[in-house]
Amino acid sequence: MDMTRNDSPKPNNFIHQIIEDDLSKGLNDGQVVTRFPPEPNGYLHIGHAKSICLNFGTALRFNGRCQLRFDDTNPEKESQEYIDSIIEDVRWLGFEWSGEVRYTSDYFEQLYAWAIHLINEGKAYVDSLSAHEMREFRGTLTEPGKNSPYRERSIEENLALFEKMRNGDFSEGECALRAKIDMAAPNMNMRDPVIYRVRHAHHHQSGDKWCIYPSYDFAHGQSDAIEGVTHSICTLEFEDHRPLYDWFIENLPVPVKPRQYEFARLNLNYTITSKRKLKLLVDEGHVNGWNDPRMPTISGMRRRGFTPASIRNFCDMIGVTRSNGTVDMGMLEAAIRDDLDANAPRAMCVIDPIKVTISNLAEGEQEWFELPAHPKDESMGLRKVPFTRNLLIEREDFAEEKPKKWKRLAPGDAVRLRGAYVITCNEVIKNEQGEVVELICSYDAATKGENPTGYKPNGVIHWVSADNSVACEVRLYDRLFTEANPDADKNRDFHEFLNPESLKVMVNARAEIGLKHAVAESRYQFERNGYFCVDPDSSEQHLIFNRTVTLRDSWAKIQAK
Ligand code: ATP
Ligand code: MG
């Protein structure tokens, strides 16, 4: 595994502390086994990355193992597509699991046997209340529940009914197997939780073998035990389930006794990290699939141009605690900027071009300039850009009436073209609508690597040759939501806050000629414009760049105003 590149020392966190204590007491024979247990009902998102980094990172730190287990007890919502994407995303993040990919469904037979064990011990019963009645009987946070009239069925009767459940003799909702714990328990999860339901559903792994499926609570801890997991790390909303997790482990003949620990889930502003809502965005066409570069999914971020190291570093930066909070999107953006600033070669690309004609250079003449591929890293070498009569500059780098302190081009003014000559704008050509369509400029041959004499250029702007460059499409992405917490207000739907300008497609862009053969997923800094990544749909006939992130955090400025 390529983890050495990600060299920030792994910060200690409270989970690591717990493990160090366990190890010092000689628990678990000195073994540390964790697992990442996604439910294959959607693509992984940045929140999962936090869990992946924690689980795999913890195993790495303690020379332990981390396993990948699909928590697949909900067949109707799951699919092979999700399984494949999750496997790919975990690997792309730079982690490799111990052994084969595992599935909770591999353990259905064992889980069934353990359910029978509970029945035999008088600790589980088949309930024939309807789902609605079950809810009524369950009580509330302030009132105890009531025992089901079926709670005292004999072991024999329960065994027979449970077998009938397995054989498909019941329809969905007709009955369920429940653990017999305590209907008056203050913790609602302990009020005889359902451990098996009837579901006549085809399963992506086990096919039509089963028509009863274990609940999450019944399956999870027992799967941990089967796999020899020592530390079962999950998010805080499962804290209230821990007594139940422990109850099953205590009451079943499991081979080992894993322990559950909870940490705060990652919430990131300007986006959402709920698979259900992300799926809605995909299904309703607000984005172009799960890997749309605006999505906080791993595959979306990858397509956007994030590197695995930047995501891992971000997860290190935010740390692992037990207090819920929201992390600023600016932190994630800073993580990718840091990486790309150091590692992305520079290039020039004019995204919204305006034509510049160099009147004192003949058609067909071409002079090559050499620019460093990286200002601080000589090992990246040089790149060559041609200076010709027909050039392009960014439309916004020209102002007919220049504002105060204008650092770009204006009529009668001079600017330096990055890495090349100083030019002066002598004439502005407009179309019938009065729009500027061309600038007639002259270049100063004495300014190659030298300051001009007698006048001062306004600033330095980027440019490309119109004669010898490569056409490309540039997709400018912005945040998916205009509200920091699109999910926060219970009375307003998150759809209301979708940013209508989250994608702008620029079809007339041109990049320096060296990018002609740029391959998918290669990343560049387009000078003055931001960091960009070649889209996987790109081809030599149709180059497409996705903007990963701007050079600076423009959102922070807007909010400060
Ligand atoms: P969602 O609410 O988006 O459906 P989930 O928790 O149901 O997420 P799982 O596939 O069950 O998704 O998650 C796999 C693992 O990732 C779990 O251990 C879960 O706790 C963890 N996880 C999910 N979302 C986050 C998050 N936002 N931050 C940290 N860990 C997360
Ligand atoms: Mg879950």
Of 438, 462, 486, which residue constitutes the final position of a domain?
462
Same domain, 452 and 482: no
Domain shared by 549 and 483, yes or no: yes
- For the residues 209-217, what does the mean pLDDT come to? 98
Q: Specify the residue with its C-alpha closest to ligand 1, atom 2.
A: 274
CATH number of the domain where residue 537 is located: 1.10.1160.10
Model confidence at 557, in pLDDT bands (50, 70, 90)? Answer: low
- Give the pair of three-digit tokens for residue 266: 């990652």
Domain count along the chain: 3
Exposed, middle or buried by CB within 10 Å (0-12, 13-18, 19+), for 329?
buried
Catalytic residue among 178, 180, 275, 302: 275
Residue 197 resides in a domain:
yes
Q: Is residue 131 part of a domain?
A: yes
Q: Which domain holds residue 298?
A: 266-348+469-561
199 and 112 housed in the same domain: yes
For 392, the 3-state DSSP assignment is: strand
What stretch of H or E contains 460?
Answer: strand 460-461
Catalytic position from the list 146, 164, 265, 528: 265
State which ligand 1 atom lies nearest to the alpha carbon of 52.
Answer: 16
Say if 50 falls within a structural domain.
no
Nearest-CA residue for ligand 1 atom 13 is 38
Pocket lined around ligand 1, Cβ cut-off 6 Å: 37-39, 47-48, 50-51, 71, 234-235, 265-266, 273-275
Note the pLDDT tens digit of each residue in 297-339: 999 999 999 999 999 999 999 999 999 989 999 999 999 999 9
Do 164 and 118 belong together in one domain? yes
> Residue 149, annotated ligand binder?
no
Q: Separation of 122 CA from ligand 1 center, angstroms?
A: 34
Residue 561 has pLDDT above 50, yes or no: no
Last residue of one domain, picked from the residues 437, 462, 487 = 462
Do 112 and 207 share a structural domain?
yes
CATH classification at residue 426: 2.40.240.10
265 catalytic per annotation: yes
**In terms of domains, do 377 and 441 share one?**
yes
Name residue 427's beta-bridge partners. Answer: 440
Check whether residue 356 and residue 441 sit in a common domain. Answer: yes
Listed residues 198, 214, 230: the one ending a domain: 214
Domain harbouring 154, CATH code: 3.90.800.10
DSSP labels, 2-39 = --TT--SPPPP-HHHHHHHHHHHTTGGGG--EEEE---
Residue 187, pLDDT above cutoff 60: yes
In the prediction, which pLDDT does 376 show?
96
| Sequence-separated (6 or more) residues with CB below 8 Å from residue 72 | 39, 40, 78, 103, 104, 105, 203, 204, 205
Span 432-446, pLDDT tens digits: 999 999 999 999 999
* 52 alpha carbon – ligand 1 mean position (Å): 10
Output the six-digit token pair for 387.
Answer: 């200076």
Range with lowest mean pLDDT among 73-87, 347-361, 435-449, 483-497: 483-497
pTM of the model: 0.95
441 domain residue, yes or no: yes
Q: What are the tokens at 252?
A: 């079943």
In sequence order, which residues have a C-beta less than 8 Å from that of residue 537 and are 6 or more positions away? 544
- Maximum distance among all alpha carbons in the chain? 104
Distance CA 139, CA 131 (A): 14
What percent of the chain has a predicted confidence (pLDDT) above 90?
95
Q: What is the pLDDT of residues 367-409, one digit of tens each?
A: 999 999 999 999 999 999 999 999 999 999 999 999 999 999 9
163 as an active site residue: the answer is no
